[in-house]
């Protein structure tokens, strides 16, 4: 196995350390263990298992790592507690594992040259740089030259001491810049410029602009590899109490890769005697499961996914030998956390954010795929389709979705827009509350000379009030615990105030009757009854007017602003929305809503979650998005 230690006979002084890898040199005293260079981070689960067995023979640690599916990328993040939880409890073995990990994670130049084809002919060394940025300088002749500058970072001291990363400095004039593989060269050094270490003052769009200027100035710029994504979303559940929603998605992804077989990134699934060139769509299997060179990562596919709800139900990759394009088709299901905006409940609108983590820093996602990629018209004309399941469609209607390419957040944001139907809450809450409150007028009709006047009126008010409270408790059971007041709350609180008004009026009439002012008591009853009916009638007239004119509905811009204020504002970055008046009035429309491209890009985080469901694209209510975007 390339890059791993090779066994040699043990010398006598090594016999006390037989469990140390035989290609390591163990010195007596305080001398350090020197390792042959290898790339721990690039190892697969099987390679790491064999590596561990070489260094800890007879311990069975390799099987433990393989059973827990620990790759090289995972191994460099392991802590002591993680190793103990896996069953590795000997402290000297744990310490030696950390020593091996720290001292040996060096990338050989030969392997780097093989990995990065554009640099394979260069004799320059490969080095990593922290907190880097590209700067432009103009010489005395007016010629523009571009340099790479980098600064030290405090949390990388071990990297500097191990010689794995340069601390600070400036490169020579750049002659080569690879946007896809994050590499730059000045002829003397090949600089590995990882996106995670890019200087925060230099955003992604500035890098692309500088790259275009560099190419115009004669620097060889290798562009990003083109890719295209289409997402078919079915919303299967919207859970207000848990503030999450569930979707079943059909993800279609394609990207160019002319060297996929030559670089052994995939193998063709054909019979031995078949000629794969006869296939229009050649079935393939990617050879680097979990580490595929593709625009997305299945280790962390969606942001804000709930636990392990992401389930990949179907996965298929094919390759077109003529167009050199890989086509991936994936069916998955996932539950996603979402802060619900319920200020106008039950006249609320929701933005359901499906954030697909994608490497926009290394891949150029196209708005429309080239015609020679041979995509179906449905996938070529739109990047997103949204429809609702039968259960959800009974409560919500869907609007045209939005697509927002977010390099600064590391992915593509698909936003499904839904609006609630009010008929259910009108018939089961609002109408009964209206009738019950109107029954409160009966309290003014009790005989004023009755000895039980106060008791009768207050008893009626309490009974009506308890009935309304029961409705309020039911409404609260279908909503999350929120710190603001909804439209439904305001309506029911109005009934509370009117009931309190009736009870206060009954007490005033009782005292007037006790003092013998029957005529005054009658006049108070008439005036208060008129005020009661006028107030309740006015409230309902205003309510009906707001419903009929669409004022109860918030504009999508308002929903977006509330979405940014609450919960996950730092993750959203939703673009300003522009829609016609039909959207404001709640009419269903297929009109695409434009969005804009955000700026910087941060490297995707590696988090394990697993996600899918076959979607009937002909189901009624499906909406297509085809919005403007910059790539």
For 278, the 3-state DSSP assignment is helix
The answer as to whether 481 is a domain residue is: yes
Same domain, 164 and 247: no
- Residue from 228, 219, 225 nearest 186 by CA: 219
Whether residues 196 and 261 fall in one domain: no
Before 455, cis peptide (omega within 30)? no
Per residue in 58-97, pLDDT tens?
888 888 888 888 887 778 778 777 787 788 888 777 877 8
CATH number of the domain bearing residue 90 = 1.10.150.50
Phi-psi region of 575 (alpha: psi -120 to 50; beta: other; left: phi over 0): beta
Report how far residue 214's alpha carbon sits from residue 176's, in angstroms, rounded to the nearest whole number.
Answer: 9
Q: Of 194-208, 302-316, 569-583, which has the strongest mean pLDDT?
A: 302-316
Tokens representing residue 479 in the block: 């909503």
Task: Mark whether 531 and 488 lie in a shared domain.
Answer: yes
HSE toward the beta carbon, residue 591, CA cutoff 13 A: 13
User: Residue 473's domain spans which residues?
Assistant: 423-549
Residues 184 and 238 reside in one and the same domain: no
* Same domain as 193, residue 260: no
What per-residue confidence (pLDDT) applies to 68?
82
For residue 315, the SS3 value is strand
Token pair, residue 361, equals 């820093």
**Is the CB of residue 268 less than 8 Å from the CB of residue 282?**
yes
Distance, in Å, from the CA atom of 276 to the CA atom of 263, rounded to the nearest integer, reads 17
- Residue 531 vs residues 183, 251, 415, 462, 505: alpha-carbon distances, Å: 77, 60, 47, 20, 11
For residue 514, what pLDDT is reported?
Answer: 81
pLDDT of residue 18: 34
pLDDT digits (tens, 9 = 90+) for 397-428: 999 999 888 776 778 899 999 999 988 888 88
Q: Same domain for 405 and 437? A: no
Residues 313 and 371 in one domain: yes
pLDDT given for residue 330 in this prediction: 94
User: Quick one: 119 exposed, middle or buried, by C-beta within 10 A (0-12, 13-18, 19+)?
Assistant: buried
Domain boundary among 78, 104, 130: 104
Residue 241 and residue 380 in one domain: yes
595 within a domain of the structure (yes/no): no
Q: Of 344-358, 516-530, 580-594, where does the model show the most confidence?
A: 344-358
Q: Are residues 281 and 406 in the same domain?
A: yes
What's residue 306's pLDDT? 92
Nearest in space to 500 (alpha carbons), one of 464, 451, 542: 464
Shared domain for 30 and 68, answered yes or no, is: yes
**pLDDT tier at 598 (50, 70, 90 boundaries)?**
very low
Is residue 502 included in any domain, yes or no? yes
Q: How far apart are CA 525 and CA 508, in angstroms?
A: 10
- Regarding whether 412 and 282 lie in a shared domain, the answer is yes
What is the DSSP code string of 156-171?
GHHHHHTTSB--SEE-
Angstrom distance (rounded) from CA 426 to CA 345: 11
pLDDT number for residue 2: 39
Place of tokens 């004039």: 173
HEC-encoded secondary structure of 337-401: ECCCCCCCCCCCEEEEEEEEEECCCCEEECCCCCHHHCCCHHHHHCCEEEEECHHHHCCEEEEEE
Token digits of residue 85: 């939880």
How does DSSP classify residue 23?
A: T
The predicted-structure confidence for 172-183, as pLDDT tens digits, reads as follows 899 899 887 788
For residue 568, being part of any structural domain is answered with no
Give the distance from CA 503 to its chain's centroid.
Answer: 53
d(CA 492, CA 346): 13
Question: What is the domain-level CATH number for residue 505?
Answer: 1.20.58.390
Does residue 526 belong to any structural domain of this protein?
yes
Q: What is residue 305's predicted lDDT score, i.e. its pLDDT?
A: 93
Number of domains in the chain: 4
Contact at 8 Å (CB) between 231 and 248? no
Tokens read off for 560:
């977006």
Rg (CA), the chain: 34
The mean pLDDT value of the chain amounts to 75
DSSP for 184-228, written as a single string? EE-SSEEEE--GGGB-TTS-HHHHHHHHHHHHHTT-EEEPPEEEE
Domain edge (last residue) among 196, 223, 250: 223
The answer to whether position 556 is within a domain reads no
In a domain, residue 311? The reply is: yes
Partners of residue 403 on adjacent β-strands: 414
Domain stop point among 549, 564, 581: 549
* Closest alpha carbon to 111 in 37, 185, 183: 37
Q: What angle do helix axes 431-438 and 453-477 make, rounded to 10 degrees?
A: 170
Looking at the domain assignment, is residue 586 inside a domain? no
The conformation of residue 426, written as its DSSP 8-state character, comes to I
Same domain flag for 526 and 513: yes
């Amino acid at each position: 196995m390339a890059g791993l230690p090779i066994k040699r006979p043990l010398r006598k002084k090594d016999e006390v350390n037989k469990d140390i890898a035989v290609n390591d040199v163990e010195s007596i005293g305080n001398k350090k263990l020197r390792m042959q260079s290898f790339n721990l981070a690039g190892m697969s689960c099987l390679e790491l298992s064999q590596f561990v067995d070489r260094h800890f023979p007879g311990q069975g640690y390799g099987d433990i790592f393989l059973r827990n599916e620990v790759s090289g990328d995972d191994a460099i993040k392991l802590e002591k507690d993680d190793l103990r939880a896996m069953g590795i409890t000997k402290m000297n073995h744990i310490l030696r594992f950390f020593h091996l990990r720290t001292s040996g994670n060096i990338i050989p130049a030969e392997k780097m040259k093989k990995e990065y084809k554009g640099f394979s002919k260069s004799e320059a060394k490969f080095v990593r740089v922290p907190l880097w940025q590209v700067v432009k300088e103009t010489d005395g002749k007016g010629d523009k030259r571009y340099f790479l500058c980098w600064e030290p970072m405090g949390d990388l001291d071990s990297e500097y001491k191990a010689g794995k990363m340069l601390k600070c400095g400036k490169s020579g004039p750049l002659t080569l810049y690879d946007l896809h593989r994050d590499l730059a060269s000045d002829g003397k050094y090949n600089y590995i410029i990882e996106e995670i270490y890019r200087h925060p003052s230099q955003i992604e769009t500035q890098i692309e602009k500088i790259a275009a200027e560099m190419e115009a100035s004669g620097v060889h710029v290798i562009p990003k590899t083109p890719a295209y994504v289409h997402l078919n979303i079915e919303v299967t559940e919207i859970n207000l109490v848990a503030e999450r929603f569930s979707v079943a998605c059909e993800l279609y992804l394609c990207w160019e890769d002319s060297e996929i077989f030559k670089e052994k990134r995939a193998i063709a699934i054909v019979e031995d005697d078949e000629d794969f060139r006869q296939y229009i769509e050649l079935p393939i299997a990617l050879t680097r499961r979990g580490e595929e060179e593709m625009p997305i990562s299945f280790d962390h596919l969606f942001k804000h996914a709930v636990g392990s709800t992401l389930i990949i139900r179907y996965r298929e990759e094919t390759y077109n030998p003529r167009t050199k394009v890989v086509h991936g088709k994936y069916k998955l299901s996932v539950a996603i956390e979402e802060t619900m905006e319920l200020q106008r409940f039950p006249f609320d609108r929701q933005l359901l954010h499906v954030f697909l983590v994608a490497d926009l820093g290394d891949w150029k996602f196209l708005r429309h795929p080239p015609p020679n990629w041979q995509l179906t018209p449905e996938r070529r004309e739109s990047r997103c389709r949204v429809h609702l399941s039968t259960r959800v469609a009974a409560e919500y209607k869907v609007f045209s979705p939005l697509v927002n390419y977010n390099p600064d957040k590391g992915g593509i944001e698909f936003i499904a827009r839904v609006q609630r139907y009010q008929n259910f809450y009108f018939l089961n809450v609002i109408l009964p509350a209206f009738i019950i409150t109107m029954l409160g007028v009966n309290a003014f009709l009790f005989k004023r000379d009755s000895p039980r006047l106060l008791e009768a009126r207050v008893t009626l008010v309490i009974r009506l009030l308890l009935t309304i409270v029961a409705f309020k408790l039911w409404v609260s059971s279908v909503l999350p615990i929120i710190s603001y007041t909804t439209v439904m709350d305001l309506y029911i609180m109005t009934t509370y105030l009117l009931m309190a008004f009736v009870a206060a009026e009954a007490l005033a009439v009782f005292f007037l009757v006790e003092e013998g002012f029957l005529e005054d008591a009658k006049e108070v009853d008439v005036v208060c009854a008129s005020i009661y009916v006028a107030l309740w009638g006015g409230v309902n007239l205003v309510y009906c007017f707001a419903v009929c004119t669409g004022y109860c509905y918030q504009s999508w811009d308002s929903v977006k602003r509330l979405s940014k204020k609450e919960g996950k504002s730092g993750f959203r970055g939703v673009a300003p929305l522009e829609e016609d008046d039909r959207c404001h009035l709640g009419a269903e429309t297929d009109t695409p809503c434009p969005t804009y491209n955000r700026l910087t890009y941060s490297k995707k985080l590696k988090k394990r979650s697993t996600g899918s469901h076959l979607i009937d694209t002909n189901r009624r209510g499906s909406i297509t998005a085809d919005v403007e975007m910059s790539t």
